[in-house]
A and B are shown apart, each in its own frame.
Chain A
């Protein structure tokens, strides 16, 4: 291989997805058959995921200095490589779901796949970005695609409403983020994470601007991962969006934002004064994680729509993940690594579990006979036991029931938090207690599927037939079980990724 190209090798997953988006637009313009677009985008995303896996596992050329032009802006380290896997897998599975869903519901328009793939590219950039400018570019690339996907079903007022709300509030959050970035630049003279950290270390930073800038950046992130009280858009947007888009948002956008937040906190704001348990960012992360777990779980318990329940459940999961993020403030490097790897493992486990849940919800309904509420699930277990199975697996995993991926994700995050010390301990206790509330609304799915019969005269959801959806269910179901029973390789991957953040 030409030695000039070697520094570009780690960027291959990102480049495949980026160019893939343009290829999709071209193909869309010159072909009539939209079903092929689903296949093509899936191939693009999965091949990126596979290459990223190979790179993360250490296959490929020895790491060299990244190309000069990108060095300050993007870092292809363990974190971004692991995220490439998670993001591309999650996006690929969402594309598969879209392949079945859009076709079934007569929404097949090619731009959906281009939006999805380019938004994924933005997410990849975000997870690798090590400079406030590249972070913002990644964030916006990712978000613009997502706004459009939420409003994709234009004729539906709920979709338009959800998309509009998401866009308005997202702009608000982006403005706050940008303002924070400006303040940080003013305070430190740097936009790159390393430079900010160096400036803090040398004491040349203007503390007031740094503190205000930091908290504004945090608000931008907390909005994206839908932490209470920046979560209000989530239920409306999730419910209005077409289900594959909801899936995409809940897994890809959340994962990328969490990864970038972790990178920011572990590099730019790792300073011991800023990460003090009382006065620094953990002081806000801990109470926010607590109220997010409470509000997410309690509000989810009240929902009658399964899709909305899953939206609140994604808020609750943001709370659990935030517990892991707060544990990054530990003074013990091993606890920090454990916390980071726990969050990464959790993100992947949540991705496959959520795809499985939304995927089954898609598979149970068909055109005009969609499954949305709990009532629509009544009797599904009797009528279509094979479809009930993945849903059972999904809710058990989301609930954190062994032996599933979700259980181990929660386990690693919570054990890292216990390692981090006293105030975190209470957070774990709260996490376990709110998980009990979670059991209520997750198990309710199983109760409706197996122990209820549909009301007489109610429209009965009829399952759709789609090879795409089946493939997505099989793949995500495989990972949910595999990661729950033999998690060693995934943990190893997450640990080595967490060991190489910088």
Chain B
């Protein structure tokens, strides 16, 4: 029963989205929001049922790794190796991690749905909004509950799509539509990384189920810590030196996480995403979707833990992003923009935490942040609703709102306390644990002992700034006098309807109390022990004094930030204005959000614009020009010539016919020998046949000495056991070292030599040349790029290495002494192989009934040289895990 609830969790919002999307326009507003709210409420109810069952399994039956799983159906399967099939089911799994995340998504989603019924009440496109919002909820739940990477990716793309649709919800406004597009493109860049990471994981572990991948990480860590190579069939001759497979896979996945969760360098879309309606900002761009990156890292934390290089990169990027977001937040004046940069900054905290291996702490912050940041955004929405602002509100025109909107003000204040880490509120617990986790990671980053302390310092600085900008925001908005009365918002602000204030109150309650799940009693820490079975670990203990240091610095940062903000903005100091003047450069840089958008525009985007112009040029002049103009003009000229042949003179027509008749006579009167091999040579024995014809007789000259070795016979086929005397040349059979290389046969008479070309990149090889590219890597002793010389003499073929690594019979030859290869022997140059065989050119003379004779010949290489790499690759593939 509880398993089936998992299906209900996903299905109800999806059905709601479909119902509203199809019929919402016709149905009334009340029908739309009833369906929307009830479907998410049902989803929340099912989530509670499933979570209750999970709790029961864990607490009363003490099953540590308990999880619920429901397989809806088999989605698709791939023939993976010769023995294994990679099957991808649509399966939902709720374990400790996804359980908590599901509750966050459905619970906060429900509150925001309720809030939206009030906030969007004036909106024309009511049904479209709720259809998107429900679709988002369903996608997010697929992302969270999907048991494998492909299914997770469906949700991952789904939330990206809904985010795009909702940011551009008011698409009549061109800049809003552009913001949606920007979000989509930035996310696509990240998704590319997720896909590649997925492929690497699939090749490495032969599975795409999270549980199976994590099991491999725990039981066979060597798979991930070993050097990166995708096996001989994909990457035969090279591997990335010093980079482990785990590092590659996790870096690729992290690229996706940095797109989805707005980290450097892909964070730029999130501030613009505030173009969407405020509930969207609260739900998607603060509480749920943007934390999906953190969730994915936690989900695969056993794998990430095995890649310290990736972890160091994640932690560093998190710390830098936290600083960057907080610093921009210091000076901005738009209400939602400050909150957006705050989100960027807080996500940076989460990544710094998971990057330092503090998965539980990072995920704790996901959980607490969901409450207070959603509350802050909804509070901002309430403010904007009250003053009649659209898009965003300028804090310089607000102020004094505490008198008009007491509930909003109270909840906003509580959330500000929570985010700044005021003691005993939820934010303090997660912030403190993040700082502890960062300090404790010093032994893990053994290759960079300075890293953990640096990150700690950066986060503390970011925390100071957080406290400052949050209270700057609070004071500017709620304290003092209302400054908007004379401006564009002429009417008096009012408190929002209850449909909006109740969610605010509930979220504020969460912002206060959510943190107590961390508080341990004796040895029992509920949050950590609850999540432990689902998370990986980097090992090690809490660092000495870490808790004390973190508490001290954490509380100090809160106090300093709030204190400064109160000094500057509550007491109305002119210090901020003077500071802005004195540090004009820095101030405008922060105001311009570090000008990263401009930087991207002039570098990456400029390059991409150049590339697209070049591609356009190529298409017009090369594709449309050369490849269509040349053939069409050729056809035009030739067809013009054909029509000129049609002179209209009947005797010319007759002449052409007579000419045709003559050609036919010629064809039938001249005999056709066209000798060819029948089957494959067996050793030196070859069966040869000429073509059949009415009254044909044949005789053969096998050794090309001009005298025929057989008498006239009507039998068109013959067999010859070739001997050394029959050969006219040496056949040099060369097989390059690249995967799938074909054999090439060059024939050499005594004193002939083969050209070895330095590089054939970018052009086709002629059949009489060998390129140094084909020798494989490290084919020479030094690096002077001298090329070997291949010549033939009377008894065989001579290879003068001239610095090339030539092996004969397994022994390395001197770098400059010619190596003699007799018929039947072979050498390797680098990884390529060169075999000398015999080349005969038997001739056949055919005589037909008209007594006309014709001699034709065919080249024969005996004995046949087997292809080497096909056999080897087949062997390697068969043995692949």
Contacts and interface: CB of A to CB of B under 8 A. Distances in A.
Contacts of A298: 635, 638-639, 642
B635 A168 contact: no
Contact of B665 (A165, A212, A273, A283): A212
Interface in B623-659: 635-636, 638-640, 642-643, 646, 648, 650, 652-654, 656-657, 659
A300 B642 CA distance: 9
Nearest to B659: A229
Interface string A287-300: 00000000100111
Interface string B487-522: 000000000000000000000000000000000000
Contacts of A271: 694
Interface residues of B, number: 35
A284 interface: yes
B756 interface: no
A278 interface: yes
B639 A215 contact: no
Contacts of B653: 165, 169, 232-233
B664 A232 contact: no
Interface string B600-644: 000000000000000000000000000000000001101110110
B692 A208 contact: no
A302 B642 contact: yes
A201 to B, nearest CB: 12
B696 interface: yes
B71 interface: no
Interface in B796-836: none
B640 A229 contact: no
Contacts of B643: 299, 302-303
Given A232-B653, A276-B692, A299-B642, A211 B668 contact: yes
B691 A169 contact: no
B646 A232 contact: yes
B654 A279 contact: no
Contacts of A165: 650, 653
B504 to A, nearest CB: 63
A218 to B, nearest CB: 7
Contact of B849 (A211, A232, A303): A211
Contacts of B639: 298-302
B693 interface: yes
Given A165-B650, A208-B850, A437-B635, A172 B657 contact: yes
A401 interface: no
A229 B691 contact: no
Contacts of B656: 229-230, 232
B277 interface: no
B672 A278 contact: yes
Contacts of A437: 635
Contact of A274 (B636, B648, B657, B694): B694
Contacts of A236: 646, 648
A165 B650 CA distance: 6
A324 to B, nearest CB: 20
B667 interface: yes
A303 B667 CA distance: 33
B646 A278 contact: no
B671 interface: yes
A210 interface: yes
Contacts of A278: 672, 674, 691, 693
Interface in A421-437: 437
Given A168-B654, A232-B653, A298-B642, A280 B693 contact: yes
A277 interface: yes
Contacts of B659: 229
Interface in A167-212: 168-169, 172-173, 176, 207-208, 210-212
B642 A295 contact: yes
A164 interface: yes
Interface residues of A, number: 46
Consensus secondary structure, chain B interface: helix
A211 B694 contact: yes
B406 interface: no
Contacts of B674: 278
A302 B639 CA distance: 6
Contacts of B850: 208
B750 interface: no
B660 interface: yes
A172 B654 contact: yes
A219 interface: yes
Nearest to B695: A207
Interface in B421-470: none
A219 B693 contact: no
B65 interface: no
A279 B640 CA distance: 34
A230 B660 contact: yes
B678 interface: no
A235 interface: yes
Contacts of B22: none
B555 to A, nearest CB: 76
Contacts of A103: none
Interface in B350-376: none
B661 interface: yes
A288 to B, nearest CB: 8
B692 A273 contact: yes
Most chain B CB inside 10 Å of its own CB: which residue of A236, A272, A273: A273
B696 to A, nearest CB: 7
Contacts of A82: none
A283 B667 contact: yes
B664 A273 contact: no
A474 B664 CA distance: 43
Interface in A241-282: 271-274, 276-280
A219 B667 CA distance: 13
A216 B662 CA distance: 10
Interface in B668-713: 668-669, 671-672, 674, 691-696
Given A273-B692, A283-B667, A301 B635 contact: yes
Nearest to A205: B694
A169 B646 contact: no
Contacts of A210: 694
A299 B646 contact: yes
A115 B636 CA distance: 40
Interface string A331-360: 000000000000000000000000000000
A169 B692 contact: no
A164 B653 CA distance: 13
A280 B262 CA distance: 75
A208 B665 CA distance: 11
A152 interface: no
Nearest to B673: A278
A454 to B, nearest CB: 25
Interface in A297-325: 298-303
Contacts of A230: 656-657, 660
A123 to B, nearest CB: 22
B632 to A, nearest CB: 8
Interface in B833-861: 849-850
Nearest to B849: A207
B848 to A, nearest CB: 8
Contacts of A277: 691
A223 interface: yes
Given A169-B654, A236-B646, A299-B639, 11 more contacts: A164-B650, A165-B653, A211-B669, A218-B664, A219-B661, A229-B660, A229-B663, A232-B656, A276-B693, A279-B691, A301-B635
15 contacts: A169-B654, A208-B850, A211-B849, A215-B665, A223-B657, A229-B660, A230-B657, A230-B660, A279-B692, A284-B667, A295-B642, A299-B639, A299-B642, A302-B636, A437-B635
Interface of A: 164-165, 168-169, 172-173, 176, 207-208, 210-212, 214-216, 218-219, 222-223, 228-230, 232-233, 235-236, 271-274, 276-280, 283-284, 295, 298-303, 437, 440
Q: Sorted from nearest, which 8 A-B pairs have the closest CB atoms?
A: A279-B693, A232-B653, A298-B639, A278-B691, A229-B660, A279-B672, A299-B642, A278-B672
